[in-house]
Structure 1
Amino acid sequence: MAGPNEPTFPEIAETIRRLEELLDRVPDPLAREIRQKIAHLRALLLEQRSPNLVLVGRRGAGKSSLINALFGARVAEVGHVKAQTGRGRWFDVHGELGTLSILDTRGIQEGSRPEEADEADTPLDSILAEVRRKAPDALLFLVKASEVDAAIDADLDVLAQIVSAVEQAHGLRPPLIGVATHCDLLEPKRTDLHHPDAQEPTELQEKLHHVEAVERQLREKIRSREALRGELVTVMGVSTYLSWRSDGTVRSDERWRLGELAQVLFRELPEQGRLVLARVTRVRALQEELATVLSRAMATVCMGIAVVPIPVADIVPITSAQVSLIVGIAWISGRQLDFTAAREFLTAMGLNLGAAFALREAARALVKFVFPGGGSVVSGAVAFAGTLAIGAAARGYFLRGVSADEARSLFQATRASAEANPDDSLAEGGR
């Protein structure tokens, strides 16, 4: 069941169902490729869910701060004085644009026992029970940059046991990302990593050198454990510092490399969790990549439907697919899930769904009717180029905030390029 911020996409689900019905009329091997693209669209749009992330680290490592930094909002309480988190448990962190499922682990080697902790449980007991109950998509091992060499062997022992428990319970070994937090506090402390252009170059290089040394040391520590070596994806130093005033406004934002960390997570997550992460973190590169993937997949699907040898049979499915693409890109950008955004976009582009789209599709279908066989090829190329162009214009309009005129220019340029170089476009779209 979808959570409060998770869409159900009923209109898109219906469109995909109708596209699948038409596939019986599409010749192989194209039909097989189209089915693969539809499966891709299903995973991204219809089967999406919150990513399941396990954050492991001792008290003060910055687990709650990392959650807040990813959301860019105060969604998790930060323990400034004592251990805030009680018994390890999965919980959903809700932000304005989506939800992440986080395993809230009690701080490893915590100096005080949280009030809500079960006296019978150790931190490890509660963590192992929860990862056996639900499989994590990724493990993030957090260590303060200043404590990378401060007796973290016991922490690594715990991490190895978590990986083993996940494998025994679910038959998989989740990817592991090492995160060195509080890099902003490394020397020279007054050099700001989040504003590199404003820093004295020599001092900035000195601080970056210290970050690299911390990353290298943490990487070596993790790789020294055979049980963890194969699962380690990368080690990254970050700053997660965000501070708010009493009225909820941001007082200070010193986040550094959070976008890069989100990109690493994105690569490791299953397809079902990627769209939510891109929306929650607002990382433009992730949003652009997802929107491009959706555009290419939908363009390939529309191309396949367009070669169905029945005049006008594909008009409504292709139009619905193109509108669904616009809605999907708008949702990735942070818009609410409804077709108002698509109508707004079409109006801004000077397109009318009931007239311009139908006329264009009817003309395309007529080409198929008058020129059977070869006409279908022309029809498929037109459908592919048009859908690719709609996706490019929607990415510019919703993700980059370009004007309607600029979006129209993107549409025209992309369509012209795809029609002029169909082989290159089709090869690119099939990736």
Structure 2
Amino acid sequence: MPVPELPLPRSDVPETVARVASSALGAAEAHTQETSAAVGTPSGAYTLLTWPRPAGLPFGPSPTALPPTAPPATDVQAAEAPGPGTGLERLLRGPHGLGTTGLRLTPREEPAPPVAAGEGRPIPGLYHHRIAEPDPERVEEVSRRIKAWALDEVSLYPEEWEEQFDGFSVGRYMVGCHPDAPTVDHLMLATRLMVAENAVDDCYCEDHGGSPIGLGERLLLAHTALDPLYTAREYQPGWAASLHADAPRRAYRSAMDYFVRAAGPSQADRLRHDMARLHLGYLAEAAWAQQDQVPEVWEYLAMRQFNNFRPCPTITDTVGGYELPADLHARADVQKVIALASNATTIVNDLYSYTKELEAPGRHLNLPVVIAEREGLSDKDAYLKSVEVHNELMHDFETEAAALTAACPVPSVARFLRGVAAWVDGNHHWHQSNTYRYSLPNFW
């Protein structure tokens, strides 16, 4: 299949966008002051606000560049709960403190979109933003293309794995996470990488032949499909042949080939860096498995800052058809926001996959399991405390993102942050609604 021609990444933003951005940022600063003044008020007084769809954003692409979208994502009201409380009671009362309204620049009055039958239910007390159902036409086309790529281009899986591949619903996942992607070709950049990353996780680390034994060697060789080897001419053919040795390496090589043709050099190098972070996290988890060790909670969370979804939101500008300049992306405050978002989304995975992992053979480390073991809590209390950890990370992400938007009033920064937030929301929606893979524990 030929590689599609994609427009070059764009870092420019029309002057009119910049003017709208300036006005919006002023509103954000005023809202931040209001939020600060409200600290200490009852938590039920806060409203959990969601991010608008990019078609209606000052920092999104022009409406003509996007396909028709479903109604905008809407707000989720915080539940009222009288009096103090702990555990489930406190969670159901909703968030409190700074960061609970994120970067919403204007109030929204319309009701939240209903959850369709059979789409699962959100974890009670989990702070999240609901989104409209991803565009079904895009979902269908991305799903068709990714399956053709997996079967015809990289021979990713045997026939008996087809149901699991379909059940992953990766097309729906990526369309929901990248609502500002201008074309399906752009969406495919993220979709191939997502599938390739999961192939590495499943085949090297998890339940499709994975093992902690020898994982470092497998990951290093797979990483050379992303970060090419430059060596003596005599040995170059051996390395080139190795890129086709197994499905994960074939998938990495192909997905990265597509990506570098559409991305700028700094965007490609940024992804390589974040993939190295991911592989480092895999190795830490493998070491604990080999030693039959349950880490301290803080050690587990440190691992999760590396073994997390970070490579996915970090490419949100490439998928959106523009580029956040390297000097801006490298700012410490931008890196902090990306890390917080990635950490929160990964705890979402821990929570929704909890029952799935308990039913699998062996011991799978996730945040509730580690908290229960290390802090002597019941399974239920450890799970509820994990929800609180997620909520704190989400509030910190939104607070830091709002502060960054005010401190660095550059339209490409604001647009990138919106893209990261859209990824956070889409990631939760997919986990909640993918009942093929996930079900909730009976703790409520």
Question: What TM-score bracket applies, with the shorter chain setting the length?
Answer: under 0.3
Higher relative contact order (CA 8 A, sep 6+): 2
TM-score, normalised on structure 2? 0.27
Structure showing greater radius of gyration is: 1
- Which one has a larger percent strand, Structure 1 or Structure 2? 1
